[in-house]
Amino acid sequence: MRRMRPALIVGALLLSSACSNIQPWVKPYERDRLADPIMSWNRDAISSAYLDHIRETREGSRGATGGAGGGCGCN
């Protein structure tokens, strides 16, 4: 893992320079659908946390739930 770190950073920098040639393909004024509340990963936080609580107390699996990003991208 430790040996991978420099490679990771170099890779990320290369990716970012490559990415600066690609323009974001969804413009800020085209995000009307993504900004719709039905497109948010989690509208009801207490409910999602509660359902996850029920599952985790009965299942052996845990982790990697939830999501971020999307939305209107304003500001």
Partner 1 sequence: MKHAAKFFKGCALAAIVIASTAFAADAGGPAPAFTLTALSGEQAALSQYKGQVVMVNFWATWCGPCQQEMPLLDQMYKKYKPAGFTLIGVNVDKEGPAVKELLARKPVSFPVLLDPANQVSKAYHVDQMPSSVIIDRKGEIRYIHRGYKPGDENDYQDRIRQLIRE
Partner 2 sequence: MSMTPAYRHLTRLAALTALLLVRATSADVLPDDRADLFYSKYSGGGLDITSASVLVRKKFTENFAVEANYFVDKVSGASVDVLSNASVIKDERKQKSGTIEYMHDKTTYSLSYINSTERDYISNTTHASLSQAMFGDLTTLTLGWGRTRDAVGENNGTADKPIIAWLGHAESQSYNVGLSQILTKNLIGGVTLEVITDDGYLANPYRSVRYTDESAKGYSLASQVYPDTRTSTAIQTQAKYYLPWRAAVTGSYRYYHDTWNITGDTYELDYTHPLANIWILEGRLRYYKQGHASFYSDLLPFAGSQNFYARDQDLASAENTTIGAKVTYAFLPDGWKMFKRGTATLDISRINFHYLDFTDIKDYGLPKYQPGAEPLYHFHATVLQIYMSMFF
Q: Nearer Cβ to partner 1, position 9 or 51?
A: 9
Q: Say if residues 36 and 73 touch (Cβ distance below 8 Å).
A: no
State the binding partner of 5 from partner 1, partner 2, none, CB within 5 to 8 A by kind.
partner 1
- Cβ of residue 6: shortest distance to partner 1, in angstroms? 8
Closest CB to partner 1 among 8 and 51?
Answer: 8
Q: Is 72 in the site for partner 2 (CB under 8 A)?
A: yes
SS3 call for 60: coil
